[in-house]
Structure 1
């Protein structure tokens, strides 16, 4: 059984796959989880999904251009829908009716972002109407930040690998320059030093 502290420790450097989505199932009373990139920065793609319903929720939101994952990504805040059947159609006129045939009663969606970079969303769904308590929301946000770092790191590594890129030194004072640039990003984007370095690499 995954503990919260173990999950936070492992997830920021975990490979893309079940090791990112599974802890949400272990730690929260939900039925399924998906993690996806959304929008123009990385494109729209499901990175990992625990089941077919979670995957279908992503596909519908990508195709329709609306739904809680888009809202969470744009606002940078969780979107918590305790009774999706009752409220989704009023908020999302095409996505709401599209999920009627799915075994989805509640959705809890968290943004995937590093500083100003809006990368995507984590969709948790339940097969019964439910609310997520405030403490659980805070914990899910902490895990989402760890996932965000893993997604950005994975993207940078894949880009370098696909394009056979190597990081070249920029001169005798390159280390100092990197530290200075990281410091500026840290202040401007209000992120941690590790996240500032990721943003600099990006």
Structure 2
């Protein structure tokens, strides 16, 4: 593993302290999950720790939201802890970006600095799906002033569109936009399995 994608001992300790405090403060997000088990998984996965740190430093406030506790062979479950970005608004360090690389390349002028799909891949995380976004919204109220790109079905993307979500009027809305569009209040939320 590249040293660029590995945290130092001090960075690891600092990150674990932050994530543990968030975990303890928001017990409603992960009932029945124990921090010591999460921490052990994280310490055993340096690349995942690096990705979690990327989520943190870009403003995502990652937290554990579930655990797949069945073996891989059963119903596709992985036995992994699942983190989502739980920042109240879409992460600040991931805003003003278009949907994917093709959309970024299609812009001839006024290009955004990056795309959601590129950034997620570079960070080692996945964009939330619509189902995951709705699951997150069951744990609190997110994106009351911002919006977040979500995984877009191939037929929609093929026609030039991309999907995003937000929460308004106590309701989760799914919208569409040109994939090349970008706004100061639109970013993306990610998920990480550890």
TM-score for the superposition, normalised by structure 1: 0.28
The structure whose Rg is larger is 1
Higher helix share: 1
TM-score for the superposition, normalised by structure 2: 0.29
